[in-house]
Amino acid sequence: MKKGGKEGKGKGGGKQSGGAPREYLTCALKFLASEAFVAGIIGKGGAVISGMRTSCKAKLHFTEYGEVYPGTESRVLTAQTNDEELLNQLIEQMVAKLDEVAKDGSDAENSGVEGDLKIKVLVPRAAAGSIIGKGGVTIKLLRESSGAKISISDASSSGPAADQVVSVQGEEEAIKTVLAEVNKHIQALKDEGWFQVWATTPGTVSWAYSNLGGGGASSSRVYSHTPGIDLMLSVAQNLPPYVMEDSRGFALSCVVPDDLVGGLIGRGGSGTREIETLTGAKISIREISDDPGNRTLNIAGALPAACAAYMLMMKRYLDVEQQSAGSSW
């Protein structure tokens, strides 16, 4: 097997190329979206999502088709802005779109029906605790004041950044009221050292690959927690803020085979652009003057962003390597 990676280099040992890491937007919300809701948010020719991005000065990113949150058939939509109120404006637009989807009646299980909408959002465990309140007092008052049904799932793992699902059901205005309150509790934690990691990753998702057609059965693979994942979460959650928030950034690099670079980058650079958008890291691939068979993959950004981007690029590397090996037979 060719070289999949060498050692990571800290800031002092590597050069950041291509300028500073992309700006990190400080406020974030994560929604669960069925395919019907996804289609409604995107709109014809992408007009709806483009309008949301512009009017709310927001980054909106869906996980890919087939990448769904465990136990659901919903993708994760991550919304980021630099202002809590802009996220409230986005909530208004999202719920209005949800109401349109519900009126159609074809997605009642996920989106509800007219006058009784359903929506789910992911919140970090630390925010879920404050939403519930001591003895459940806060969530009880929110239920009473909004008239909405609200439930919160158990955490996906330990630590303040572990995802919990908040499910809300009720009239359009009730949904908006609850989500605005949830937003307030989440953004109150935006200065915590772990928040950027939570905000720039879609949470624990499962990859389902279906092969339908010709009467064939569908198959799926679900990737759950492993000791390695628990180790990474434990290390990240226990690092002091000055490490996670160091403004100088960090650089990671490895060597990849030249013949796999096209697959790593993706058509028109779409693969690396998606990872850059998701993580905020900067990715570049450069030739090695004395080694024409290999290139250097460089990733630069804040520590959480650089590490997340590196892991995602290694997934692409292994996928491309496997595809290349399969095509050689």
Picking from 141, 153, 136, the residue whose alpha carbon sits closest to that of residue 181 is: 141
> Residue 262's pLDDT is what?
92
Predicted local distance difference test score (pLDDT) of residue 184: 97
DSSP labels, 15-67: ---SSSPPPPPSEEEEEEE-HHHHHHHH-GGGHHHHHHHHHTT-EEEEPPTTE
Number of C-beta neighbours around residue 152 at 10 A: 17
pLDDT value for 24: 64
> Residue 21: is its pLDDT beyond 70?
no
pLDDT above 60: residue 3: no
Residue 49 has pLDDT above 70, yes or no: yes
For residues 100 and 161, the model is more confident at 100
pLDDT for 187-209, tens place per residue?
Answer: 999 999 889 888 887 764 544 33
Residues for the chain: how many in total? 329
Per-residue confidence (pLDDT) for residue 214, from 0 to 100: 34
pLDDT in tens, 98-126: 999 999 888 999 999 999 999 999 999 99
Task: Please give the backbone phi and psi of residue 129, each rounded to the nearest 5 degrees, phi first.
Answer: -60, -40
Gap between the Cα atoms of 279 and 312, Å rounded:
10
**pLDDT of 216 strictly over 60:** no
Is the pLDDT confidence value at 261 over 50?
yes
Beta partners for 105?
none
Return the ∠ at Cα 115 (arms to 113 and 119), rounded to 5°.
Answer: 60
Q: Which residue has the higher pLDDT, 60 or 221?
A: 60
Mean pLDDT score, 249-271: 91
pLDDT at 308 over 50: yes
